[in-house]
C-alpha cells in the first residue's frame, strides 16, 4: 500500500456537504434521549471532519493501523461524538454501536480512549494533543514516512502553556507534516474563554507556523486551507477555524451555555426537523 498526500482531483463540494450532513444526523441520533452532552461542539466541527476523512486524509478503515496512514488527533476528547460519527461514516465503527454513546460500560465514552478503532490518542485531559502531535510528526519524518498528522485543539487549550511549548517545538523541528486545526468557538467549560488569546493566527505565525484564519463551517474555505497546508516548506501549518457551536440546528445554536447543552427528551424530534430544514 502506498500513500499519496495530495488528494486526487478537485474536492466534490456536493459530496462533502452530504457527508457533513450525515455526520450531523448521526450525532443527533447518538445524543437523543440522553438529556445533555457535547452535541454543540460536535455539530460545529462536522464540516472539518467531513473534509478531512472524505477528501484530505489518506487512511483505510480496513487497515486502521496502516503505518503510513495520516493521523487525526482529537485533543478535545469531549468532541468524541463528532469523531465517532466520522469513524462510523468512514467504516471504522459499526453504525449500531453509535446508540451506546456515553452510556455506562459503552465502548464509545464521552471522551475518547485510544482502544476505539480509528482513535489515535486519549483526549480526556485537555492541553496535550498538540504535544503528542509534534512527537508523532517528528517520529514519522525521522522514519521516512510520507504520512501527515492533523491535530484538532481548541481556543480554550491556548490558555495552557503546554500548548504554546508544543507550538514552539513543532516549528523548531520543522514539522511541515503537521497541520493544527484550532477550533475557535469562544467558549470553555464554564462560559467564555477568559484569557486574551487573540489574534490566534498571528500568534501561531509568530511562533514559526504558516497560519490562516477561516470560517470553520465553510467547506470550500476548509478545503482551500487544507490544500495550502500541503506545502513541504519546513514549517508546520495552522488553520484557525471560527466555528459556531450547534451549527446546523438553530435551537442548539441559541442555547445560552453551548459547551454542555441540555436538551429535553421531547425536543429531539423537532431538532432533527430543524437540521433537515437547514440543509434542504
Contact at 8 Å (CB) between 48 and 181? Answer: yes
pLDDT in tens, 38-57: 888 999 999 999 999 999 99
Q: Taking residues 33-37, report their average pLDDT.
A: 68
In a domain, 156, yes or no: yes
In a domain, 4, yes or no: no
Residue 226: its H or E element: helix 219-228
In a domain, 7, yes or no: no
Contact at 8 Å (CB) between 42 and 98? Answer: no
* Alpha-carbon span 126 to 139, nearest angstrom: 22
pLDDT in tens, 222-279: 999 999 999 999 999 999 999 999 999 998 888 765 556 667 778 888 989 999 998 8
In a domain, 80, yes or no: yes
**CA–CA distance from 219 to each of 44, 45, 47 (Å)?**
12, 11, 6
Q: What angle do CA 125, 107, 42 make, to 5 degrees?
A: 60
In a domain, 5, yes or no: no
Cell of 96: 449500531
Residue 108 sits in a domain whose CATH number is 3.40.50.970
pTM of the model: 0.93
Cell of 72: 487525526
Domain count, the chain: 1
Residue 23 lies in domain: 13-278
Q: Three-state SS across 9-73? A: CCCCHHHHHHHHHHHHHHHHHHHCCCCEECHHHHHHHHHHHHHHHHHHCCCCCCCCCCCCCCEEE
Residue, of 198 and 170, whose pLDDT is higher: 170
Interstrand relation of 261-262 and 36-37 (parallel, antiparallel or unpaired): antiparallel
Cell of 3: 500513500
Cell 484538532, residue located = 152
Amino acid at each position: 500500500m502506498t500513500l499519496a498526500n495530495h488528494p486526487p482531483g478537485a474536492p466534490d463540494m456536493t459530496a462533502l456537504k452530504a457527508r457533513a450532513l450525515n455526520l450531523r444526523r448521526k450525532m443527533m441520533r447518538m445524543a437523543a434521549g440522553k438529556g445533555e452532552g457535547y452535541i454543540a461542539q460536535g455539530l460545529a466541527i462536522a464540516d472539518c471532519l467531513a473534509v478531512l476523512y472524505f477528501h484530505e486524509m489518506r487512511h483505510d478503515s480496513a487497515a486502521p493501523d496502516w503505518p503510513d496512514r495520516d493521523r487525526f488527533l482529537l485533543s478535545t476528547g469531549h468532541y468524541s461524538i463528532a469523531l465517532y460519527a466520522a469513524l462510523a461514516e468512514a467504516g471504522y465503527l459499526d453504525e449500531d454501536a453509535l446508540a451506546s454513546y456515553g452510556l455506562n460500560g459503552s465502548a464509545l465514552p464521552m471522551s475518547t480512549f485510544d482502544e476505539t478503532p480509528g482513535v489515535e490518542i486519549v483526549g480526556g485531559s485537555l492541553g496535550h494533543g498538540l504535544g503528542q502531535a509534534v512527537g508523532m510528526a517528528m517520529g514519522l519524518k525521522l522514519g521516512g514516512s510520507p504520512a501527515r498528522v492533523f491535530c484538532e485543539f481548541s481556543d480554550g487549550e491556548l490558555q495552557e502553556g503546554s500548548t504554546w511549548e508544543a507550538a514552539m517545538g513543532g516549528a523548531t523541528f520543522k514539522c511541515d507534516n503537521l497541520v493544527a486545526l484550532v477550533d475557535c468557538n469562544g467558549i470553555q467549560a464554564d462560559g467564555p474563554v477568559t484569557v486574551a488569546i487573540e489574534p490566534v493566527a498571528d500568534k501561531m505565525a509568530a511562533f514559526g507556523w504558516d497560519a490562516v484564519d477561516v470560517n470553520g463551517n465553510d467547506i470550500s474555505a476548509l478545503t482551500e486551507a487544507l490544500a495550502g497546508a500541503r506545502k513541504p516548506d519546513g514549517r508546520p501549518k495552522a488553520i484557525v477555524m471560527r466555528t459556531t457551536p450547534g451549527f446546523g440546528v438553530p435551537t442548539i445554536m441559541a442555547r445560552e451555555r453551548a459547551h454542555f447543552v441540555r436538551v429535553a427528551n421531547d425536543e429531539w424530534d423537532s431538532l432533527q426537523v430543524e437540521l433537515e430544514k437547514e440543509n434542504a
